[in-house]
């Protein structure tokens, strides 16, 4: 039975969070919404506050997951990130935007690609 888009997305976000924690990053927040904009993961590696967009796909037939981070999506992530920082009175924090691409394979371990400083 094939999984729904939401199930694939949730699984990808869980895998991405575990991947970042294995790198000793601290997950501060997940699925933060501001108006209609969302940030999947907010983390820190002790140098930056990192806003992470996770893109997951069950295959690459329609392209790589990271190819779905469009300029419009980037603008929405930045909008949510601004609100997140403002709400926590952390305007002086150094922030970065990363993308984690995950291809979920039925019989193999997920393929994870991490694009640090993916956009500004």
What is the C-alpha separation between 45 and 60, in angstroms, rounded? Answer: 30
pLDDT digits (tens, 9 = 90+) for 46-78: 899 999 999 999 989 999 999 999 999 999 999
Q: Supply the DSSP symbol for 66.
A: G
CA 14 to chain centre: 10
pTM given for the model: 0.94
Query: What does the longest C-alpha to C-alpha distance in the chain come to?
Result: 48
Contact, 57 vs 110, CB < 8 A?
no
Q: What whole-number percentage of the chain has pLDDT above 70?
A: 98
> Is the pLDDT confidence value at 1 over 50?
no
Instruction: Report the pLDDT value the prediction gives residue 2, as an integer from 0 to 100.
Output: 62
Q: What is the dihedral of CA 91, 18, 67, 119, to 10 degrees?
A: 20
Domains by residue range for the chain, with CATH: 5-119 (3.40.1350.10)
Contact, 100 vs 55, CB < 8 A?
yes
Token pair 């394979």: residue:
105
């Amino acid at each position: 039975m094939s999984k729904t888009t939401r199930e694939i997305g949730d699984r990808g976000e869980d895998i991405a969070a575990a991947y970042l924690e294995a790198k000793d990053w601290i997950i501060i927040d997940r699925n933060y919404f501001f108006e209609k904009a969302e940030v999947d993961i907010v983390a820190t590696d002790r140098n930056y506050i990192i806003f992470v967009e996770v893109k997951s796909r069950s295959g690459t037939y329609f392209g790589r997951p990271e190819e779905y981070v469009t300029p419009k999506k980037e603008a929405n992530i930045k909008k949510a990130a601004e609100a997140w920082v403002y709400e926590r009175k952390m305007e002086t924090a150094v922030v970065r935007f990363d993308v984690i691409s995950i291809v979920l394979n039925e019989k193999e371990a997920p393929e994870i690609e991490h694009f640090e400083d993916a956009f500004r």
